[in-house]
Amino acid sequence: MARLLQHTTLLTSILTCIIHLHSIPTSNSCGGFWCNNNLRLNQAAENILFIQNQNKTHPLESTVTAVVQILYDGPSERFAWLLPVPTEPEVDVSSNEAFVRLMSSTDPQFVLEEHWKGDNCQFVPDKKNKGGDVMATTEESSAGTEESEEDVTVIKADSVGPYDYVLITINPDAESPAKVAVDWLQKNEYDLFDSTATVLDPYLEKQMMLLAFRLTKGSDDAADVGSIRPVVLTYKSEKPMIPLLPTAVAANDDMGIRVWVASDHPVYPVNYNSLVLNEALIHWFDWRSTYNDVVTAAANEAEDGQGFVTELALSTASYKDAIFSVNDEEWWKNFQERYVKMEPTDSNGFDAIQEASWTVRFWDGWRETVAASVLLPKDVSLDDFGTSPFLYQDQVQVNLTTFLQLLEINVVLPLKHTQD
């Protein structure tokens, strides 16, 4: 069944949206097995992919899957992320590479056609308006073990990917439910601002649960900002919803929200304006650096300075390979078949890491997979080995079996499942 993919951007006078549409480079600061991919991510926006899993026979059994890219600039020991959820979710992780690829496939494109009269000199580029038709009328829709400690009930405490997380409910009869929640989370080493309590009240009044994440403690490699990766949440709900709750600690002051929705039908914002861009304001010779000004102008003309701009509305069939392509599938199949048959020697393990790095060094989970698969001399750090692997090739032990297993679980499947 064909589904509709919509790409929308929220503009608000409170959370000013800044959209970077410049080309995404293919590599940055690469050496050995490592590549610093921080510059490939849009650091000014929160990105969310919603998939509506509708149950038409029993609508109340419908679920929503939200893939949320968490963008954070502060120190790893202070990372905390808090999200209100309507029901207990299934929790998993995705890959930042999914959003890199999704943005490159769906970001707006404006093409200027030029015609010359009087001679044969004419340049007419192919017109590819991926998301360029901002006049579209479709937009986004806003929408374990239990133990109690005073007014806080822990529904679930677990870990996934690089995160520890806890799901809690708060006694609605508490004197200040929001303060109770923040105090409890701070006591349990979730580094939240005291002011977070002021934005929790609307959600706790609806008796929503709170889902809090932090980077797993006690691991030098895991507890690093570079380990932060998108979270996948699947929960019972008929409609997607975006809690406009600031990310704890170092959230950007000018934070926008990009939203993609995969649904069987068009969706619309319930409590925000649907904005239409004034295309006469577009600077056709320099649209990449001025596009955000055009979007901001549309928001400023709205009564309350807020709203969504729809940048794309097409069948998901057009993007079936956008996140995990046929080439990725073929590479992974061939890679597995080749190395599974090999003797699990250090040499073969080293070759497997080297070959995989050519394809997946940008993907989340790569560094952690290498770290768990090699045994290094005491005087050689993981950074030393990853930056100049051939200097230490004869000094390291590589568990090929462990590497292949973790490469699939931590690196390949999170990206593949996001496409699925």
pLDDT at 52: 86
User: Phi then psi for 401, rounded to 5 degrees?
Assistant: -65, -45
pLDDT tens string 69-93? 877 766 777 778 888 999 999 999 9
Q: Which residues contact 262 (CB under 8 A, 6 or more apart)?
A: 3, 4, 5, 49, 50, 51, 52, 316
Q: Is the pLDDT of residue 146 over 80?
A: no
Listed range (68-82, 266-280, 349-363, 381-395) with the worst mean pLDDT: 68-82
Average pLDDT over every residue of 196-207: 87
Sketch the domain layout of the chain as residue ranges: 4-121+127-143+227-319, 326-419
Asked whether 256 and 9 are in contact (CB, 8 A), the reply is: yes
Q: Is the pLDDT of residue 4 over 80?
A: no
59 pLDDT band, cuts 50/70/90, is confident
pLDDT tens string 295-317? 888 888 887 777 888 888 878 77
Nearest partner of 8 among 48, 64, 66, judged by Cα: 48
Nearest partner of 256 among 266, 267, 242, judged by Cα: 242
pLDDT tens string 320-343? 888 999 999 999 999 999 999 999
Q: What is the DSSP letter of 284?
A: T
pLDDT at 271: 78
Mean confidence (pLDDT) of the chain: 77
**pTM of this structure:** 0.77
Position 111, amino acid: V
